[in-house]
Amino acid sequence: MNQERPLAGVRALIIDMDGVLWHGSQPLPGIREFFAALRARRLPFVLATNNASSTPAQYVAKLAGMGVKVSEDEILTSGIATAAWLAQRRDPASSRVYAIGEAGLTEPLRQQGFTLACSHKEGGDWQADVVVVGKDETLTWDKLATATLNLNRGAAFIGTNADVTLPMELGISHGNGAILAALTAATGREPTIIGKPEPELYRQALRRLEAAPEDVVAIGDRLETDIFGAVRAGIRSLMVLTGVSREADLAQVDYRPDWILADIREVTRVLEEG
């Protein structure tokens, strides 16, 4: 564990949202004070989430409802990161994508210029070169069948993230990793993952911040994604205990966050004392 004062030397933050700022639609205590402290110190940040279901505009509206004002360019989702990553590797003009996901995934793919294939039951062209899978609360048998058919034809298999669980108001529910697991079971195919703990999401956040890894701290609640991803990206990390992981979980892994604090109220206290 880092012996320096928490957030020592930080010039920018990359902040997870689910389990750090809220559980489902319920804001966690201290959220408004936390953002007020960031603004008062002119500390740049990117809200970087593995959750690909919502658009930046939807996150802006969600935070506004919690009394927090942010801009769309301060939000980076795994859906946005996936679309950007894919556009660097495939020509959008000649690649068809079948996407399981909500607007937070389909909009970035369209904005990058990709044509989205339809479900096999919709009567159109369902065949695709790439299958991309993100969190989808409208998931159906037909969507899984279309993805499976395309994967069995040889389509590339991309997952926005592999989180098998998701914190909600009522407890821990399933995440996108559970959808990916179903498709892997059906096809024997393993997806390429773009979100945390892969470093790509953090790398894109660093480019937005125009910051070096050593000047940035990532704040998250999951050891296996937020913290491990930061380690792989060369970024210091701070884990809060309001989401999935607990201090006892450290015994099961060979990496560590630089610091552990109880919640964002404690992070605010550190910022104000610094």
Residues assigned a catalytic role: 16, 18
Phi and psi for 177 in degrees, rounded to 5?
A: -60, -30
Phi and psi for 47 in degrees, rounded to 5?
A: -85, 105
Residues 80 and 48: their CA atoms lie apart, in Å, by 10
Longest Cα–Cα distance of the chain, Å, equals 61
Beta-sheet pairing, 22-23 with 26-27 = antiparallel
Helix 78-89 vs helix 103-111: crossing angle, to nearest 10: 30
β-sheet bridge partners, residue 49: 77
Phi and psi for 64 in degrees, rounded to 5?
A: -60, -40
Terminal C-alpha separation, the chain = 19
Report residue 264 as tokens. 């964002």
- Strands of the sheet containing 259-261, edge to edge, are 75-77, 45-49, 12-15, 216-220, 236-240, 259-261
Residue 42: Cβ within 10 Å count: 6
3-state helix, strand, coil split of the chain in percent (to 5) is 40, 20, 40
Residues 62 and 60: their CA atoms lie apart, in Å, by 6
